[in-house]
Amino acid sequence: MEIFKSELTADEMEAARIDLSKGVTKELSLQSYNAEKHESVWVMTTNSKDLDGDIVHTDGIDHKWWRDKGAIYWTHKRGGFPVGKPMWVKPETDGAHKSLILGMKHNSITPEGRMVEAMVADKFLQNGSIRFLPTERPKAIIEEESGRTTGFEFPKTLLIGFDLVDIPANLEANSRGFDEDMAEWLVSKGFEVEDVAKFADVSKGVIPYSGAKKADKGTAWSGSKARAELKAYATTDGKVDVKKYRKGFAYQSDSNADTLGSCKLPYHYVENGELVVVWGGAKAAMGAVLGARGGVDIPDGDRKKVYNVLSKAYRVFDETPPEFKEYDELEFVRMFPEAYPVESGLLREVETLKAKLSEFDEFQKSFEKVKADLFATQGAVETLVEGQKATHVKPTVKYATREDFVKDLNGEVSRAIARAKGQVQPDQLSNNKVTI
């Protein structure tokens, strides 16, 4: 760039984190938006120390070249159409606080421009970043106690770009994927899925969640039926519109993108001329993304993005998405039995046998306890019997007949009476006999 002149050496630029191909990137924030005029106002930068520890002197920024000839893009993309242009750039001073303010005219012609403006209007997008190159040697900001360089002070700079971004502070601190939040929101605002996917730069193939109504959860799923219905849905006068056809899928490969075969992972049916999300389709697609039955051939960099899209379908049906990680085959059989009809059937039989074996083990434990109780009872009885045998004394037999017993008893009675009288003999008391 002929307009750029700097006193810095290559080493000094590297130390100050300056890349001549990209410049230095700093945050800015939305101040206001005018829907009627399609205009917005942004705080480009201030003279305060930023998150990188740097200070950019606002009165030292040369913005004339960019203000007159520059354009505003989405996330530093130069391949697409601009999403706006600068109308004016002016400084503002509030005491010691200085700011540089930008007036932006939104591009309402292209889908990209309209989508950015929609996000700004609803305050879904409130961040941007400026890019500049230093035209005077930056001054190191040194911490007194440690002597450590904590940042740089830029007295003179050349503004070379302003871009709207979906991140709050720097290009490395992306806290959410575009396709997870913004894309779904834009689709809900009526933007075409293919335009949103292109704008989001989620690769050619990751198709944002459609936001379609859900079918009954018990609806049987068939991938071939889904493709047939989607083909009929996208066909007009015998010609299939691939862009319309792809809406029912979660991914479209880069190769042969103009063919129906490029569309992968269907999870929609068509009811009454409208797309509907099918639970069985979302579950089958999720299984393929995670690797069930060999998985699906998509780039590893896109796999998590497709997982995020399908996770939204899970939540629509009040289901919790499986964790995004590696699984073994047995885990897949349990998670996606529909994809493993034979294996899941065998697994059910095995688990039934295990349950029966567990029941048998419980029965055996109970039987052993009863047996032990019986043995204990038997031992107690035997001990009791032996004790009774040891203490039992057989009576002595003194009388051979009943008459002998009566005779002896009468004699004992007579003798007892005689002893009581002191004088009388037993044979004198014959009239006092006992009869039994």
Cα separation, 351 vs 344, in Å, equals 10
- pLDDT at 222 exceeding the cut of 90: yes
Radius of gyration of the chain (CA): 48
CA distances from 340 to 169, 267, 287, 319 (A): 47, 18, 11, 20
Place 426 in a pLDDT band, splitting at 50, 70 and 90: very low
420 falls in which pLDDT band (50, 70, 90)? low
Does pLDDT of 319 surpass 90?
Answer: yes
Within the chain, how many helices (H) and strands (E) appear?
A: 12, 18
- In the three-class reduction of DSSP (H, G, I as helix; E, B as strand; rest coil), residue 407 is classed as helix
pLDDT tens by residue, 44-95:
888 887 767 788 888 899 999 889 988 888 765 555 678 899 999 988 888 7
Mean pLDDT of 214-226: 94
Give the Å distances, CA to CA, from 329 to 88, 177, 226, 333: 61, 30, 27, 6
When pLDDT is averaged across residues 141-168 and rounded to a whole number, the result is: 79
Examine the pLDDT at 396 and tell me if it is beyond 80. no
For all residues of the chain together, what is the average pLDDT? Answer: 76
Residues 148 and 102: their CA atoms lie apart, in Å, by 34
- Give mean pLDDT, residues 347-376: 76
| Mean pLDDT of the region 313-328 | 92
So what's the pLDDT on residue 143? 81
| Amino acid identity, position 60 | G
Q: How far apart are CA 6 and CA 257, in angstroms?
A: 46
Residue 206 has pLDDT above 50, yes or no: yes
For 39-101, give the DSSP string: EEEEEEEESS--TTS-EE-GGGEE-HHHHHH--EEETT--SS--SEEEEEEEEEEETTEEEEE
Q: Sketch the domain layout of the chain as residue ranges.
A: 10-168, 193-339, 348-393, 395-436
Can you give the length of the chain in residues?
A: 436
pLDDT > 60? residue 433? no
